[in-house]
């Protein structure tokens, strides 16, 4: 039995649930926090924007590790409520990191591939590649990275940033994931006599939340057991190598479910210059730094996972 405690923020979310399970499976004492979906039993209701509530939480739990998953992670929502997004992605991160540093807890801040511009020909991006977010969401997450690491300025190696790409996995609703929600588009194409245009311009690297959860646990174990933590990298990146556009994902879903995909059309036009949110072309993350730590980088097969999830084992 591991006599260690981890706090997982955003524990009711798509990634937070799997991070909690990964630590729990390894015998850790897991305390999750949430807000709108917190039940007060398995997941504590904590307003991360309230420094008093955060301080009280850390005082009572005394965590060895904090995995900060809570964030506004949908670019369109960030654009509609920029101040709310900045409060959660930046201000709350800063106050949590400062409180965690004061308590001596090891912090993993979950970030995104959208800190990179994603211009054609630039990927894959290394952990130390120059950042230049293409939209406000990416900027708030980059500012969150800086806030988290600055809070631990005098304690190098006690906080790390973990960047991940678009995630998929077991979801309470398809809308929790930009990948899962594509299932809705496939179903809609069967039931409504309309053509659905799907992006076939930007390659994505869908990564499963179970794999990301395992990696969070392995990073925490590695850093806590390191004799010279200060020499370890502060920015890490994890990603699947499955490369596909949203259109190609829809094609795979249709194939798995044995459905025609005739009403889903590829859109190769790229960004609409008038759109409020600009998406990057290719933000493929290099996992070289993580590999140097001998962290297991294996990922589940996209098609095989979805066959299991959807109960479709077609030959």
Which pair of structure tokens corresponds to residue 72?
């506004």
Identify any residues that bridge with 164 across adjacent strands, giving them in sequence order.
112
Which pair of structure tokens corresponds to residue 125?
């991006």
Asked if residue 185 lies in contact with residue 196, where contact means CB atoms within 8 angstroms, the answer is: yes
Torsion of CA 114, 118, 124, 125, to 10 degrees: -50
Asked if residue 181 lies in contact with residue 175, where contact means CB atoms within 8 angstroms, the answer is: yes
Can you tell me the distance from the alpha carbon of 310 to that of 100, in angstroms, rounded to the nearest whole number? 40
Q: If we measure between CA atoms, which residue out of 215, 172, 239, 207 comes closest to residue 17?
A: 172
3-state secondary structure of 32: strand
137 belongs to the catalytic site:
yes
Can you tell me the distance from the alpha carbon of 44 to that of 269, in angstroms, rounded to the nearest whole number? 45
3-state secondary structure of 196: strand
Task: Give the number of C-alpha atoms closer than 13 A to the C-alpha of residue 188, restricted to the C-beta side.
Answer: 12
Using N-to-C axis directions, what is the helix angle for 92-103 and 51-61, rounded to 10°?
30
Q: Which of 114, 125, 137, 247 is catalytic?
A: 137
Which pair of structure tokens corresponds to residue 12?
């009711």
Q: Kindly list the catalytic residues.
A: 137
């Amino acid at each position: 039995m591991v006599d260690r405690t981890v706090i997982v923020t955003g524990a009711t979310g798509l990634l937070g649930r799997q991070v909690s399970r990964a630590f729990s499976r390894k015998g850790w004492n897991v305390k999750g926090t949430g807000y709108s979906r917190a039940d007060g039993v398995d997941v504590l209701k904590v307003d991360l924007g309230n420094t008093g509530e955060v301080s009280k939480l850390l005082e009572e739990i005394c965590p060895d590790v904090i995995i900060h998953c809570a964030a506004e992670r949908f670019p369109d929502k960030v654009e509609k409520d920029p101040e709310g997004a900045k409060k959660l992605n930046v201000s709350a991160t800063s106050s949590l990191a400062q409180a965690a540093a004061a308590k001596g807890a090891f912090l993993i801040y979950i970030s995104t591939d959208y800190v990179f511009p994603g211009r054609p020909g630039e990927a894959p991006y290394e952990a130390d590649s120059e950042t230049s977010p293409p939209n406000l969401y990416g900027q708030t997450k980059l500012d969150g990275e800086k806030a988290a690491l600055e809070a631990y300025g005098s304690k190098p190696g006690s906080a790390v940033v973990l960047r991940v790409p678009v995630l998929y996995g077991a979801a309470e609703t398809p809308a929790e994931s930009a990948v899962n929600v594509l299932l809705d588009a496939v179903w809609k194409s069967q039931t409504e006599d309309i053509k659905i245009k799907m992006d076939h311009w930007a390659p994505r690297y869908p990564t499963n939340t179970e794999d990301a959860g395992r990696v969070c646990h392995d990073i925490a174990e590695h850093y806590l057991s390191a004799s010279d933590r200060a020499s370890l990298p502060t920015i890490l990146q994890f990603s699947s190598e499955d490369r596909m556009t949203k259109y190609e994902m829809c094609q795979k879903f249709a194939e798995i479910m044995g459905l025609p995909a005739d009403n889903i059309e590829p859109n190769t036009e790229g960004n609409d210059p008038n759109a409020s949110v600009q998406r990057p072309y290719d933000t493929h993350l290099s996992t070289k730094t993580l590999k140097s730590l001998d962290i297991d980088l294996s990922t589940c097969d996209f098609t095989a996972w979805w066959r299991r999830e959807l109960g479709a084992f077609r030959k």
